[in-house]
Chain A
Amino acid sequence: MSSAPSSPSSKPRVGLFVTCLVDMFRPTVGFSAVKLLEEAGCIVDVPMEQVCCGQPAFNSGDLESARKVAKPLIAMFENHDYVVAPSGSCAGMMIKHFPELFANDPELAEPVKALAGKTWELVSFLTDVMKLDGVAAAFDGSITYHDSCSGLRELKVKEQPRKLLRTVKGLEIKELQEPETCCGFGGTFCVKYPEISGKMVGDKTTDIKNSGADMLVAGDMGCLLNMAGKLRREGSDIEVRHVAEVLADMTMAAPGIAGTEKG
């Protein structure tokens, strides 16, 4: 377990957990996270052997596969002060579910507890640990924010992103009617029960469109890809971004999650 940095000279060493969807679909989110962490005074390291937290197998009931995939992470981040992920879902997996997954492994129980104790979701790390209370970013327009379920309910990420977003110059927040209702992604749920998922994400995009915001922002790529895919299918041109991109002032850097052609 680590504590907050004792002095400015002892910069905390942060291991960035990139998450599968960020790695494959939106590298910009990873670079935004690096930028935010460095600006907040961290030394960022990306272990190149990292793959996945094992969540797809875990939630499918295949604990053996989940352990096989998750196990390497425990040693990989042993020497970092903190592990930070731009995802409430993957961070939640490591914080809340790893201890359960390895509960019967006497050798790993302690290291897993240590890992869980130093792992954070990106925005809550910036605000709750690094005490960041503002960012040097600008966005000329309005956004609406979706509270992704894992971050919200497992890690209590709710006020933190809004607090930082309010410091983005020119940005206006237009809240959804139901910001805390699931978007219907749910990992394998969206392909196993596409019709129900479709109804849920349809309700969500209606809420998003009704908000009148120019951009949809959230902290998890799974939800963002789901909502972006539905918005595009409906012909909406509302831009979709990960919160890290907005806070790191990288909203012009890449096409965005549901790319319009301006990128």
Chain B
Amino acid sequence: MEQSTSPKFKQNAHHALHDASLQRALGRLKTGFKDKRTAAIANMPEFEQLRDTARDIKNHTLANLDHYLSAFEANVIANGGHVHWCADAEEARQTVLKICQDKKAKSVLKGKSMISEEIGLNAFLEKQDLKVVETDLGEYIIQLRNEPPSHIIAPAIHVHKEQVADSFRETHKGRDINRPLDEPRDLLDEAREVMREHFFAADIGITGANFLIAETGTSVIVTNEGNGDLTQTLSKVHIAIASLEKVVPTLEDASTILRVLARSATGQEMSSYTTFSTGPKRDGDLDGPEEYHVILLDNGRSNMLGTEFQEMLRCIRCAACMNHCPVYGAVGGHAYGWVYPGPMGSVLTPSLIGVDEAGHLPNASTFCGKCEEVCPMRIPLPKMMRHWREREFEKHLGPQSMRFGIRLWAWFASRPALYGKATGLAVRVLKSMAGRSQKIGKLPLAGGWTDIRDMPAPEGKTFKQLWAEQQAAKKA
């Protein structure tokens, strides 16, 4: 598994905030996905009802997960495919490797898959002397740059086209070094040409799955580049890797959720390509893989069932939460330090790698609630981040000073007379510190506040003092 840098969230964020190129890229998020989502939803009056339906479908599925997974497995097998149940990352990696070795494969194509990021598949396969090529353009770019994705649907959102051109010149050998690569079109054409060779040479095609459909034994992927189709149809073997919660009962259910997915993600009515794969190539089929494998990965999901984090398993990875999150918008995806960034990552990452490792993530939120507002599956993300904070508090994981401060405050706050005296005193002190300027530029114990802003001075007495005086005067 990829080493996480989540414990260094603060340092990561510091670097991100001082990275001018990243800040420029993040600025574009505002006018990109966000506005497109708004427009797409304005065109669909029944969007809110669809969200309810989508949520209900997933809730029902999660409540009967064993049933639907068994049905899915039975149908895949009936269609001539194979299902591999994998408890953890290592088991999933070994399973992929075994399939590759059985086929004496040399090269592997990848359609974008967050799960394969989660299990660190590329690095693992490369160590086994397999050539791995990412086929999603964004994913391909960061593969060349040797970076993890910074966004779950737009992995290279932090990269500028000039940087892409540099990577291409460096890695696409045998071409004119001075060829023009200034326009996005140039880059696309070159990527397409290079990719084409890979498509025809590949032995194994690995994709993720946006959905697994129980009633038909089908895996579904959505892409905008068609790379997923080519990955899974041109290769001799198609391996779909999906986590357990991706299953839905019926085709109809998958179609319903697809209607909220693209609108929430990119503001499209539908992704350009939606591909349903049901088993290997049949007799008489013109194309398709000879073998079809589904890896059903748990990797911590089943531990979330029956807990306050179960609702997180409704997530369909649309990224609406990160597109709209002001914290993600300030620091970008790499700051979160692991595969899943933004609000969904702040809930999911502690579940998967432990809250002691990822404790910053659920804390680094203002609870502004925008993520929940835009989540098509109505996942109460702030509430679940708060549940993580509760777990941390129970486990004494947060800073000791914070814990002590809260307890001390609660002690005062449950003694109204004492609290009134303390606040009255605090207000007088603050007022005198501010002096005539009526603002405080440096406040002991609140450096976090005064490093970046002044503290406006209080008026001089507390409301309750003034109110008591006023009431007394009225009676007199």
Contacts and interface: CB of A to CB of B under 8 A. Distances in A.
Main secondary structure of the interface of A (DSSP, over half): helix
B409 A191 contact: no
Given A65-B407, A149-B369, A229-B455, A27 B449 contact: no
Contacts of A62: 393, 403, 406-407, 410
A233 B369 CA distance: 28
B373 interface: yes
A261 B436 contact: yes
Given A186-B367, A255-B459, A229 B449 contact: yes
The winner among A25, A66, A257 for most chain B CB atoms within 10 A is A25
Interface stretch (A108-116, A133-141, A192-200): A192-200
A31 B463 contact: yes
B422 to A, nearest CB: 10
B45 interface: no
Given A26-B459, A50-B416, A69-B414, A59 B467 contact: no
Chain B contact residues, majority secondary structure: helix
Contact of A24 (B369, B414, B437, B462): B462
A162 interface: no
Given A229-B454, A232-B439, A261-B436, A190 B413 contact: no
Contacts of A203: 326
B365 A186 contact: yes
B390 interface: yes
Given A51-B414, A57-B410, A200-B330, A232 B454 contact: yes
Interface residues of A, number: 75
A59 to B, nearest CB: 6
Interface in B369-384: 369-370, 372-373
Interface of B: 10, 13-14, 17, 326-327, 330-331, 363-370, 372-373, 386, 388-394, 398, 402-403, 406-407, 409-410, 413-414, 416, 419, 423, 426-427, 436-439, 441, 446-449, 451-459, 461-464, 466-468
Given A61-B394, A259-B439, 17 more contacts: A24-B427, A25-B459, A27-B462, A48-B416, A51-B416, A61-B398, A62-B393, A189-B366, A190-B449, A196-B13, A199-B330, A228-B454, A230-B452, A232-B456, A233-B453, A240-B456, A258-B439
Interface of A: 18, 20, 22-31, 46, 48-52, 54, 56-63, 65-66, 68-69, 72, 149-150, 153-154, 180-182, 184-203, 225-226, 228-230, 232-233, 240, 254-255, 257-261, 263
